Amino acid sequence: MTNISKPAGTGSSGLKRDIGFTSLMFISLGSIIGSGWLLGALTAASAAGGASILSWILAGAILILLALVHAELGATYPLAGGTARWPRLAFGSIAGFTAGWVAWLQAVTIAPIEVEAALSYMDHLWPGFVDTTGSLTGRGLLFAFLLMLLFTLLNVAGVKWLAESNKIAVIWKTAVPVLTVIVLVSVSFHASNFTAGGGFAPYGAHGVFAALPLGVVFALQGFEQAVQMAGEAKEPQKNIPRAVITAVIVGTLIYLALEVAFIGALNPADLVGGWANPVGKGDFGPYATLATSLGLGWLAVILYVDAFISPSGTGLVYVGTSARLSYALGHAGYVPRGFARISARGVPWASVLLAFVVGLICFLPFPSWQSLVGLVTSATVIMYGFAPVTLIALRRADPDRPRPYKLPAGEILAPLAFVAANEIIYWASWTAVSKLLLAILAGLVLFGISYAFHKPLERPPFDFASLGWMLPWFIGIGVISYLGDYGGINVIPTWWDLVVVAVFSVAVFFLGVRMALPTARVAAAARKEQEEADAEESLLA
């Protein structure tokens, strides 16, 4: 690789603002419509029956609220890898690293998850990619490597290549689900299915909530990808809020329609024994199975083709966005600054290569689609959880900064968004939460090692104070999860557990806001970030 610049702010080139509103919106929508649309409806129906439509409505409302929070932050502080950099402005180094680590962890693992989903579907047409357990075979691993290599090359080619190739994929990815809904509802729709197998909510409210981390939130998450690209966006103050909000609303409506069409198209005879296996145990192609059973072979073929394109398009985007997050970590000095190096094409090439290598590693310990979904969902929501606290902290510590988009009733909706995020983490089950907490601990150990090996003058301020609200948050949600009714020991009674999570979340929220850095330091840090971004942009003019 030639013509590599120094880290951002010190080099001869920087990130290029080449992405407009449509491309930004498609980047977020392309992340939302991935393997989740192919597998999410079946998983949700198995967990909640007909009431799974409530799971999608609830998840949509929560994620729209979180998207509005991100819209204000993204418009006010349009920085590449924003989810990793906003907490740093408000709370300092440890909070910035932790948010960035969790965000990178979920982003870098999603690309291999999407590749596994694509190959699992392709196995229906050309057997040999997965074995009977759903794990990748030798041939599957080879094709997984080739797909990850393709994603990497497209990202290294430049952000315009990424945006344009993703735009084509998203048009297809959106058209096929819409076509599927129209055809299934027109050909076969049994309204009685919504109350079959034990009634509308055969597993009660527990099933509705449990469905969220099993694939519903995983399907809908991804709206923040436009925010991660903020450093390369045209008119980010205007375009980022519009892109994020539009993508999450469109995605929610599509997923809700898909769940309704899926349940309505099921054979009522298959629901007599309940919702455990409405279309066959372990079936990776529920919509294609339905289409085949209804004599719609042509639709089944389209679905199998889309089953490769949709996850692949999402994987392409996540290689790019995970690279922007490791770029942000390198930019801040939390990891080696080499990851913040920018190529002549304006691409954080070292971070792209890191995403490629880590993605390949993920194929080994987590060889099937569902192996990481609960963990990734929890990591995503932890990342989302930083945003509402950061929003109010920055409003108070940096009040004079222009806010092109401002969340209405932010002082009420931001705490509510934080509560909602923690409820989803709790619903993910103690198994997923415990693994996530171990991953966060591992990240903090890496931060400590990196900090120790930095030259004294290059070390960022440690900012111990941020641990004063972060440790109670992580430890507290872990304890509640262990004592709760979702994979825990069920000490806290049902419904009371949700109240406990809500009260705990509100207390942590306001503790976090109170522990923000002083106004002068926040303003100075924000000004420095903006000056570096302006300097990069002027070099490209």
The pLDDT value given to residue 358: 81
The pLDDT value given to residue 10: 36
Q: Are 53 and 212 in contact (CB under 8 A)?
A: no
pLDDT band, very low/low/confident/very high, at 31 (cuts 50, 70, 90)? confident
Q: Is 19 helix (H, G, I), strand (E, B) or coil?
A: strand
Report how many domains make up the chain. 1
The pLDDT value given to residue 257: 93
Considering only residues 15 and 45, tell me which one the structure prediction assigns the higher pLDDT.
45
Q: Answer yes or no: is 404 within a domain.
A: yes
The pLDDT value given to residue 284: 52
Q: Answer yes or no: is 541 within a domain.
A: no
pLDDT at 535 over 90: no
Q: How far apart are the first and last CA of the chain?
A: 23
The strand pairing partners of 136, in sequence order, are: 130
The pLDDT value given to residue 26: 83
Q: Answer yes or no: is 12 within a domain.
A: no
User: For residue range 246-284, what is the model confidence (pLDDT) as tens digits?
Assistant: 888 999 999 999 999 999 999 888 888 888 878 765 455
Mean pLDDT across 382-389:
90
Which of 286-295, 453-462, 496-505 is the most confident on average?
496-505
CA dihedral of residues 443, 78, 339, 377 (deg, nearest 10): 40
pLDDT at 16 over 60: no
The pLDDT value given to residue 253: 92
Q: 225 lies in which domain range?
A: 21-531
The pLDDT value given to residue 540: 38
The strand pairing partners of 426, in sequence order, are: none
User: For residue range 137-146, what is the model confidence (pLDDT) as tens digits?
Assistant: 888 889 888 9
Q: What is the chain's mean pLDDT, rounded?
A: 80
Percent of the chain with pLDDT over 70: 83
Judging by beta carbons within 10 Å of its beta carbon (0-12, 13-18, 19+), is residue 22 exposed, middle or buried? Answer: middle
The pTM for the full model equals 0.78
Which structure tokens are listed for 194? 């919504």
Mean pLDDT across 397-424:
90
CATH number at residue 470: 1.20.1740.10
**Distance (Å, whole) CA 196 – CA 269:** 10
User: For residue range 78-112, what is the model confidence (pLDDT) as tens digits?
Assistant: 876 677 788 988 998 888 888 888 888 877 887 88
Could you tell me the CA-to-CA distances from 218 to 33, 40, 196, 415 in Å, in that order? 10, 8, 26, 22
**Distance (Å, whole) CA 377 – CA 149:** 25
Q: Answer yes or no: is 245 within a domain.
A: yes
Q: Answer yes or no: is 240 within a domain.
A: yes
The pLDDT value given to residue 1: 32
Q: Are 75 and 24 in contact (CB under 8 A)?
A: no
Identify the DSSP state of 398: S
